[in-house]
Amino acid sequence: MKKTITLVVVAAVALMPIMARATPFEVNFTFGGGCSIFGHPPVPQVNGFDYCFTEVALDSSVLGDGVTISSLEASVFGDNNGDVINFDWEIYLGASSFGLPEGQFLDTLIDPITGYARTASTIFHPVIGERFDTNDYTFAVSHNFGTDTSSASPYLSAIRSAFTSPIDTTDGLYAQMFFWTADNRNSNITFGDVTLTVRGEIENPTSVPEPGTLALLAIGLFGMALSRRRKRQA
């Protein structure tokens, strides 16, 4: 019986650190297209802005405590109807919705810079372009939060924000984007479907048994082994 006890205890002790290890994840979001941006001349703050917020997307597979985002990458095809490529691309991730609207705004006088509060736990906000260019592109951006490195195609003008903090999720991981421009030199782009890939780790996934549960399992296994031994002896 000592051998049986030893095997059960060793198995439980060996499995506990494995179960406590962070679990990596990779999730993909797709946002519907049809979004357009334009800063109406001569002064968009007076003449109006065209910009859009995507719908809020949810991936319910990212569940647990200590969810950290390690990297993200996104891409979208842009039909360039203007003379200048210059727009802001904001990406939000978090444990709940962000209190932002959804959909297309046309001729709005709500300033995209001062008119909205950004409260997400993870934000990546690059600026694309500031180039005179009439070509269409598949625009792409990426950021690695571990190395604090970014990339963008075809042009990266600036990084306005790039930060992340751990979160606890009960519903899953939420995501949303904001496309806008305040350029009055005919920066006019219509975007198609947007894809977003997010990678990270979950320190304590809710789908994985806690160490206490594992200990109970070990006790149960021991009880089963002891019962079988007594039956054989009888």
Q: Is residue 230 part of a domain?
A: no
Q: Is residue 1 part of a domain?
A: no
Q: Is residue 100 part of a domain?
A: yes
pLDDT at 95: 98
pLDDT at 207: 59
Grade residue 20 by pLDDT with cuts at 50, 70 and 90. Answer: low
Q: Is residue 222 part of a domain?
A: no
What's the number of domains the chain is made of? 1
Q: Is residue 213 part of a domain?
A: no
pLDDT at 229: 53
Judged by average pLDDT, the poorest of 33-42, 88-97, 158-167, 207-216 is 207-216
Q: Enumerate long-range contacts of 207-215, CB under 8 Å, 24 or more apart.
A: 207/63, 207/64, 208/19, 208/23, 208/64, 209/19, 211/16, 211/19, 211/20, 214/12, 214/15, 214/16, 214/19, 215/12, 215/16
Q: Is residue 224 part of a domain?
A: no
Q: Is residue 120 part of a domain?
A: yes
Closest CA to 31 of 3, 50, 58, 63: 58
Query: Using one digit for the tens of pLDDT, what is the confidence trace for 157-189?
Result: 999 999 999 999 999 999 999 999 999 999 999
pLDDT at 21: 75
Q: For residue 98, give its domain range.
A: 22-206
pLDDT at 9: 39
CB 57 within 8 A of CB 174: yes
Q: Is residue 63 part of a domain?
A: yes
Q: Is 113 exposed, middle or buried (0-12, 13-18, 19+ CB in 10 A)?
A: exposed
